[in-house]
Amino acid sequence: MTTFEENLLAEVADIHGVPEGAYNIRKNGAAAGRNTTANIDLVTKEDKPGIDIIIKPGTKNESVHIPVIISESGLKDLVYNDFYIGEGADVTIVAGCGIHNCGDQESAHDGIHTFHLAKNSKVKYIEKHVGTGDGRGANVMNPTTIVYLEEGAYLEMETTQIKGIDSTVRETEGVVGDNATFIVKEKIMTHGSQYAKTNFKVDLNGVGSSANVISRSVAKEDSKQEFISRITGNNECNGHSECDAIIMDRAVVTAIPELTAANVDASLIHEAAIGKIAGEQLIKLMTLGLSEAEAEEQIVNGFLK
């Protein structure tokens, strides 16, 4: 790999050299490295691009890295990854995509990830998207995540996109069973004329099921963002959705909450806040010797942590 490809891997998946445990590295639409373990198998799909990640029941303290990097301008990559998490397993999955585009053509990655979590399994899923390069071609990423949680399962999903992506439509759907939990933490920053749209759709079908969707975003310059959240409570359940955005310059941010209670014991809450950086915050930091631009950067970085 080239130096900038290695840097992309480090940024999107915290990979430095050969990662420990199970991994599958995808480069420019093809496999660039793979390793399995006794408890985690990675199997190439036969009918479409992508892999099946199969984690045995009871697997503990193991991780899977499945990053994608694109360094060819004009490449359109599509991949389907299916995760089968065995009963009682507890693992960390690190995904993410980096595009380095120095050409004039659009480079794009569409990743469709489907999770099947068996009874009492637990997954922490980390996904980061980054775009680099000095070309005029756009960097486009459209991730789709579909989640099925059986009884007592737990999935915590952290997604981050804070630079270099010109357009993204992020689709996340979840079906949550008895006493299962689905947590989503999203961080997005756009600038220039970038566009980001997030669609969350969660069905709380099980008794004691819960979902907590939290989105934090910063929109700068002429960029546009849309946040759409739909939570349906079909049983005794708890659902919470929160959109918190900082708007700057000439940006536009839209937040659309939708809550549907189909059971008398469904408890659903939505919170949304969109606003500019408070003047007193800027003044306080500027009195410590920072310029206005430096103060804004400090506030934005703290907000997105």
pLDDT averaged per 10 residues in sequence order, the chain, 305 residues = 78 76 93 94 96 98 94 95 98 94 94 98 96 91 97 97 93 98 97 97 98 96 97 98 95 95 98 90 86 90 88
CB 140 within 8 A of CB 107: yes
DSSP-assigned beta bridge partners for residue 204? 176, 233
pLDDT at 10: 83
Tokens of 100: 């380095």
pLDDT at 140: 97
**For the purposes of burial, counting CB atoms within 10 Å of the CB of 21, is it exposed (0-12), middle (13-18) or buried (19 or more)?**
middle
Could you tell me where the DSSP H helices lie in the chain? 3-13, 279-286, 292-303
R_g (Cα) of the chain, nearest Å: 20
pTM (2 d.p.)? 0.94
pLDDT at 18: 67
Distance of CA 191 to the CA centre of its chain: 18
Q: Which of 262, 249, 241, 142 is nearest to 183 (CA)?
A: 241
CB 243 within 8 A of CB 213: no
193: number of Cβ within 10 Å: 12
CB 141 within 8 A of CB 168: yes
What's the Cα-to-Cα distance from 213 to each of 42, 155, 196, 290, rounded to whole Å? 29, 12, 17, 34
61: number of Cβ within 10 Å: 8
Tokens of 226: 């849309």
pLDDT at 287: 87
CA distance 23 to 42: 8
pLDDT at 17: 65
Report the Cα–Cα distance between both ends of the chain, in Å, rounded.
30
